[in-house]
């Protein structure tokens, strides 16, 4: 009996009408297979409930800003393909600042991702290779074996 988890990362750009567009680029995806090796104490025990990706499993870059004082915010939400809302919970965390002349702040603790856009972190100017970590919580032997899948949607918002 095996549970399979597949998380894909996609991007969407959001920019106020008439403004210059800021670009966001996201690379990476995460999948994990949960099986008997994930039992806490062998046969008859529950599964480990939390699974965490590498610290830089996903990379996010913000570019084509108008300069180091061009403020932006990254929002995140999920779009479920096959998911168990209320049972499985997905979290994201920014694990570094990336590179570039701009700045970045916030998002350094795990933040639950829901189906509604929520502020994740903010910055100013161009930044590249901002590392993002993913975490899944809620696995249990009570979760039916299946492939569960959701997509993360990152939106850059130009903050005036």
Taking residues 7-25, what's their average pLDDT?
56
Give the model confidence (pLDDT) of 141-151 as tens digits.
Answer: 888 888 889 99
In the predicted structure, residue 85 carries a pLDDT above the cut 90: no
What pLDDT does 3 receive? 52
Residue range 88-109: mean pLDDT, rounded: 96
Q: Which residue has the higher pLDDT, 95 or 11?
A: 95
Domains of the chain are 8-144+152-158 (2.60.40)
CA 146 to chain centre: 21
> Region 68-94: what's the mean pLDDT?
94
Strands in the chain per DSSP E:
3-13, 23-27, 29-34, 50-52, 58-63, 71-82, 89-94, 103-105, 111-113, 118-124, 127-137, 147-158
Cβ(20)–Cβ(66) below 8 Å: yes
**How far is the C-alpha of 4 from the C-alpha of 38, rounded, in Å?**
12
Task: Determine the Cα–Cα distance for residues 104 and 71; give it in Å rounded to an integer.
Answer: 10
Q: Which of 154, 120, 122 is nearest to 29 (CA)?
A: 154
Integer Cα distance of 14 and 23 in angstroms: 9
Residue 126: name the closest of 160, 94, 97 by CA: 97
pLDDT computed for residue 20 by the predictor: 61
């Amino acid at each position: 009996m095996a549970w399979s988890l597949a998380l894909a990362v996609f991007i969407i750009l959001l920019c106020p009408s008439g403004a210059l567009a800021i670009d966001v680029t996201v690379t990476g995806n995460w999948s994990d297979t949960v099986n008997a090796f994930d039992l806490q104490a062998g046969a008859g025990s529950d599964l480990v409930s939390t699974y965490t990706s590498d610290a830089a499993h996903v990379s996010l870059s913000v570019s084509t800003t108008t300069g180091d004082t061009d403020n932006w915010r990254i929002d995140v939400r999920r779009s479920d393909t096959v998911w168990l809302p209320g049972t499985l919970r997905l979290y994201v965390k920014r694990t570094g600042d990336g590179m570039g002349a701009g700045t970045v702040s916030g998002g350094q603790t795990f933040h639950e991702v829901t189906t509604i856009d929520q502020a994740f972190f903010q910055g100013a100017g161009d930044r590249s290779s901002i590392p993002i970590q993913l975490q899944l919580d809620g696995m249990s032997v009570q979760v039916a074996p299946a492939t569960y899948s959701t997509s993360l949607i990152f939106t850059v918002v130009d903050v005036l």
